[in-house]
A and B are shown apart, each in its own frame.
Chain A
């Protein structure tokens, strides 16, 4: 797990190449503190910062093929590299190292882009073919590992994080206003757009080829579901058995490392199950980590303690207060490189520092399960909304919304009429492709109230939700409504927010690699084919997973009311000294008078609603983003550098 950087094109003077690659690599040094390597030759430059996990002594990068024709810079892990290596050896390949990097390189040399289908892993890599003068960039299926790029003149620059691109002459940090609007609607920029104007993200499951000055990008994998009417005759026992076997194997290959592997244990079903499987496999005491909160509303320590006792893990937790969240929040925004609407990444940023200090570089987590097995409230909410919409006058049906949001006091005290109205039951078209997400998008978009007149004018009639709808695949309309919701959640929020702001960026900021057994592509593809009723049975979320876990996770954990991972939001910043100055930074994006009133409300401690909290955190993070990136724009140019 590492950071990669590089460029391909004629605009970098040979005399500047090494210095440029070094400064780009330095910008992502946090991702790979163990080693640094660069390769520059003519139009190609590759750099690498290494976090040594597999092949500690011989996995240095950029790595060259034995014939010198190929060079690779690779971030991530190929978890099935052992099997692929054995297969390649049987075909006559001879390996010089024990690293997964060499396996990836040799597989690519044999099969080209078709090699991607064989990989079970989380990766972003660059491979340069010196004979064809062709660069290939590729990213894993669901977007665990990041890859960004931009063009300057006739040169393509790319890197694991945008910070490294900002070290490239001529690249400046300017907010992409459409991307900002996407965050204030969808929670994340819509790939390939990023928060930075002119800088793109290679979307998950995509491969890019640069050859002869031409750039081509295509999807090499995409999430698919069966047609809505398809039947599946498998029984629950059979599906649960297959599910557990796959998850067990996914966990097994994610324990492969030449350093010890720990696990996050949140107290929920997903991380408890992964920890239980890992503990069973390693044959010794598993090291586990968790976050705890002062506030009972967010804290899950009682459940964590129960699992720690059951599994006998060596466990430590890190207590997180609102003040702790406020203290690290500017660093979190710098790590995330985009505005965020929630503070939830902040405790995980602190947790990864704790993991690193404990001497661990790798952790397993339960991330991905809620997307692939329909665990999030949004799936249940959409089902209830459809149920209510079929009989909007029913007093009884709307009360089901209360069952969904048992942890939100504001919902509990509402009348059935208001519940129906808030969730748009009856108002949203049942055939709207974004039906499942409309209440979330609407609630989030309320924060746009704080936009400045200039920002409104610049956006014109831009509609982020319509932009999202325009990217949906042709087959989308054939899927069951719950699968449509799962697609939206997995394709956009998982990669654009959960795995980015709450995953890779906050763990790699402290050089800790997260591994996600639930996102093993075999399991993702298997889960997509499971009938919707087995995933969400009535309002019982992750029904089939609970069944699969019944011998490993006690009912007190598996059947506890779902509590989504959240952290204290605006209340965290009441005493943070930088807030007023950050909010007052003249970015021209927000209405200063309205923001001042919002800040006042936050300080008063009376801000409890989603809209106000999302607005406050979103505006603060946008202002901090501006201060961290746009105020430090790159003034150098390639011409000046070359001169």
Chain B
């Protein structure tokens, strides 16, 4: 499974409650699409840390790194992870 696929699956399960009919592009802004709130971002960061075994600094929790599936996948890949755990 690719990182992007795994992240998509987490988002669909946790923020869309399993609704696979929602058209979620890799580049969709999670905030602009109203998919994520202040608690949601913490859930997401916690998931990434636990699943990929990486520690994320507060300064890294910014929309540039986490506001779309593509950005999250790129952020994780940038930490040397090549595929979903």
Of all chain A residues, the one with the shortest Cβ separation from B32 is A427
B42 adjacent to A410 (CB under 8 Å): yes
A219 within 8 A of B: no
User: Which A residues touch B39, using CB under 8 A?
Assistant: 410, 608-612
Contact of A417 among B37, B43, B64 (CB under 8 A): B64
**Given A417-B62, A421-B67: A594 touches B40 (CB 8 Å cut-off):** no
| Distance A125 CA – B37 CA, assembled complex (angstroms) | 45
Minimum C-beta distance from A454 to chain B (A): 14
B58 adjacent to A415 (CB under 8 Å): yes
B31 adjacent to A594 (CB under 8 Å): no
A610 adjacent to B58 (CB under 8 Å): no
| Distance A612 CA – B15 CA, assembled complex (angstroms) | 9
| Distance A422 CA – B18 CA, assembled complex (angstroms) | 23
Minimum C-beta distance from B45 to chain A (A): 9
**Given A415-B59, A421-B63: A446 touches B37 (CB 8 Å cut-off):** yes
Of all chain B residues, the one with the shortest Cβ separation from A448 is B34
| Distance A415 CA – B64 CA, assembled complex (angstroms) | 11
A414 adjacent to B41 (CB under 8 Å): yes
A636 within 8 A of B: no
Which of B19, B35, B38, B40 lies at the interface centre, i.e. has the most chain A CB atoms within 10 A of its CB? B38
Name the interface size band of chain B.
20 to 34
Contact of A415 among B13, B35, B43, B62 (CB under 8 A): B62
Of all chain A residues, the one with the shortest Cβ separation from B14 is A601
A449 within 8 A of B: yes
Minimum C-beta distance from B7 to chain A (A): 18
A132 within 8 A of B: no
User: Which A residues touch B32, using CB under 8 A?
Assistant: 427
8 nearest A-B pairs in the assembled complex, by CB-CB distance: A609-B39, A594-B17, A417-B62, A410-B38, A597-B17, A410-B39, A421-B31, A446-B34
Interface of A is mostly: helix
Minimum C-beta distance from B17 to chain A (A): 4
A449 adjacent to B17 (CB under 8 Å): yes
B67 adjacent to A449 (CB under 8 Å): no
Of all chain A residues, the one with the shortest Cβ separation from B42 is A410
Contact of A413 among B17, B42, B62 (CB under 8 A): B42
User: Which A residues touch B13, using CB under 8 A?
Assistant: 597
A597 adjacent to B18 (CB under 8 Å): yes
User: Which B residues touch A611, using CB under 8 A?
Assistant: 37, 39-40
How many A residues face the partner with a CB closer than 8 A? 28
User: Which A residues touch B77, using CB under 8 A?
Assistant: none
A450 within 8 A of B: yes
B50 within 8 A of A: no
User: Which B residues touch A411, using CB under 8 A?
Assistant: 38
User: Which B residues touch A415, using CB under 8 A?
Assistant: 58-59, 61-62
User: Which B residues touch A449, using CB under 8 A?
Assistant: 16-17, 19
Minimum C-beta distance from B43 to chain A (A): 8
B17 adjacent to A598 (CB under 8 Å): yes
Minimum C-beta distance from A445 to chain B (A): 7
Minimum C-beta distance from A442 to chain B (A): 6
A443 within 8 A of B: yes
A643 within 8 A of B: no
B62 adjacent to A418 (CB under 8 Å): yes
Contact of A591 among B19, B35, B61, B63 (CB under 8 A): B19
Minimum C-beta distance from B82 to chain A (A): 27
Extra inter-chain contacts (15) besides given A410-B37, A410-B39, A446-B34, CB under 8 Å? A414-B38, A415-B62, A418-B41, A421-B31, A421-B63, A422-B31, A422-B38, A445-B34, A449-B19, A591-B19, A593-B17, A594-B16, A594-B17, A609-B37, A609-B43
Of all chain B residues, the one with the shortest Cβ separation from A442 is B34
User: Which A residues touch B61, using CB under 8 A?
Assistant: 414-415, 418
Count of A-B contacts judged by CB separation below 8 Å: 65
| Distance A598 CA – B17 CA, assembled complex (angstroms) | 7
| Distance A417 CA – B67 CA, assembled complex (angstroms) | 11
User: Which A residues touch B34, using CB under 8 A?
Assistant: 442, 445-446
Minimum C-beta distance from B10 to chain A (A): 13
B8-40 CB contacts (< 8 Å) to partner A:
13, 16-19, 31-32, 34-35, 37-40
Minimum C-beta distance from B84 to chain A (A): 21
Of all chain A residues, the one with the shortest Cβ separation from B40 is A609
Of all chain A residues, the one with the shortest Cβ separation from B60 is A415
> Can you list 8 contacts pairing A with B, beta carbon distance less than 8 Å?
A415-B62, A417-B63, A421-B63, A422-B38, A449-B17, A591-B17, A609-B38, A610-B39
Of all chain B residues, the one with the shortest Cβ separation from A443 is B37
Interface readout for A417-440 with B: 1 if CB under 8 Å, 0 if not?
A: 110011000010000000000000
| Distance A43 CA – B10 CA, assembled complex (angstroms) | 63
Of all chain A residues, the one with the shortest Cβ separation from B66 is A418
Of all chain B residues, the one with the shortest Cβ separation from A594 is B17
A398-421 CB contacts (< 8 Å) to partner B:
408, 410-411, 413-415, 417-418, 421
A594 adjacent to B19 (CB under 8 Å): yes
Minimum C-beta distance from B30 to chain A (A): 10
User: Which A residues touch B62, using CB under 8 A?
Assistant: 415, 417-418
| Distance A612 CA – B31 CA, assembled complex (angstroms) | 15
Minimum C-beta distance from A135 to chain B (A): 46
| Distance A413 CA – B64 CA, assembled complex (angstroms) | 17
A418 adjacent to B63 (CB under 8 Å): yes
User: Which A residues touch B63, using CB under 8 A?
Assistant: 417-418, 421
Of all chain A residues, the one with the shortest Cβ separation from B19 is A594
| Distance A590 CA – B42 CA, assembled complex (angstroms) | 27
| Distance A585 CA – B57 CA, assembled complex (angstroms) | 45
| Distance A442 CA – B32 CA, assembled complex (angstroms) | 10
| Distance A464 CA – B41 CA, assembled complex (angstroms) | 27
Of all chain B residues, the one with the shortest Cβ separation from A419 is B38
User: Which A residues touch B58, using CB under 8 A?
Assistant: 413, 415
Minimum C-beta distance from A192 to chain B (A): 29
User: Which B residues touch A421, using CB under 8 A?
Assistant: 31, 63, 67
| Distance A418 CA – B45 CA, assembled complex (angstroms) | 13
Of all chain A residues, the one with the shortest Cβ separation from B62 is A417
Minimum C-beta distance from B36 to chain A (A): 9
Minimum C-beta distance from B81 to chain A (A): 22
Which of A418, A594, A608, A612 lies at the interface centre, i.e. has the most chain B CB atoms within 10 A of its CB? A418
Of all chain A residues, the one with the shortest Cβ separation from B67 is A421
User: Which B residues touch A598, using CB under 8 A?
Assistant: 17
| Distance A373 CA – B67 CA, assembled complex (angstroms) | 37
